[in-house]
Amino acid sequence: MIVFNRDVLESGLMLAVRTPDPRLSKAIRFTLGSFTNHNAMIVDHNTRGFLIGEAVAPVSKYTTLEVYESKINNDGCVVKIWRIKGLTPFERHEMSLSWQLHLDGLPYAVTGLWKLGIFRFVNNLPWRIHAHGVWCTELCFEAAKAVGRDPLPKPNGKS
């Protein structure tokens, strides 16, 4: 049985998720040319402890670690955990705080999903493609941006 090692969890860890949903997940992966179709972030909530902050329909929310453990063990979900290089404990704390204050409860960009295909081709342009609501990767980016970090790959493939 796979579980999160709670002894080494820290806020600001990024989750790259591949869900087995046969329609939407596969469509997102195909459109983006990606192995995964969802991103989330470990948040050390000030009253609830470690949770997973994620953008899902209808609004961004917190999901318990146990829910993800069940998805991994029972539903075939694949989760890869990524650490943003060089984050200090203070920056990780600030990312969690940013999620709690600014990113929880935002509407998901369901009606803008067709625009995801554009990202595959214009990912490195200096402007943002606007949609009503936010996508999962955007929320992870916004949390990192709150501490002056940019976790997204650059044109040279480096972060």
CB 149 within 8 A of CB 91: yes
Tokens of 13: 């860890």
Q: Is the pLDDT of residue 151 over 60?
A: yes
pLDDT tens column, 24-78: 777 776 677 777 788 899 999 999 999 999 999 899 999 999 999 999 999 999 9
Please report which residue ranges of the chain form alpha helices under DSSP H. 24-32, 65-75, 89-98, 116-122, 136-145
Where exactly are the structural domains of the chain? Answer: 14-145
Give the Å distances, CA to CA, from 19 to 78, 79, 133: 7, 9, 21
Percent of the chain with pLDDT over 70: 77
- Chain segment 92-121, per-residue pLDDT in tens: 999 999 999 999 999 987 665 556 656 555
Helix axes 136-145, 89-98, angle to 10 degrees: 130
Q: Check whether 123 has a pLDDT greater than 60.
A: no
Note the pLDDT of residue 132.
61
pLDDT the model gives residue 112: 57
What pLDDT sits at residue 157?
45
* pLDDT given at position 159: 45
How many residues does the structure list for the chain? 159
Question: What rounded mean pLDDT belongs to the chain?
Answer: 83
**pLDDT tops 60 at residue 128:** no
What CATH topology corresponds to 14-145? endopeptidase fold (from Nostoc punctiforme) (3.90.1720)
47 Cβ neighbours under 8 A, 6+ residues apart: none
How far CA 142 is from CA of 35, 76, 134, 135, in Å, comes to: 22, 29, 10, 11
The pLDDT-based confidence of 79 (bands split at 50, 70, 90) is: very high
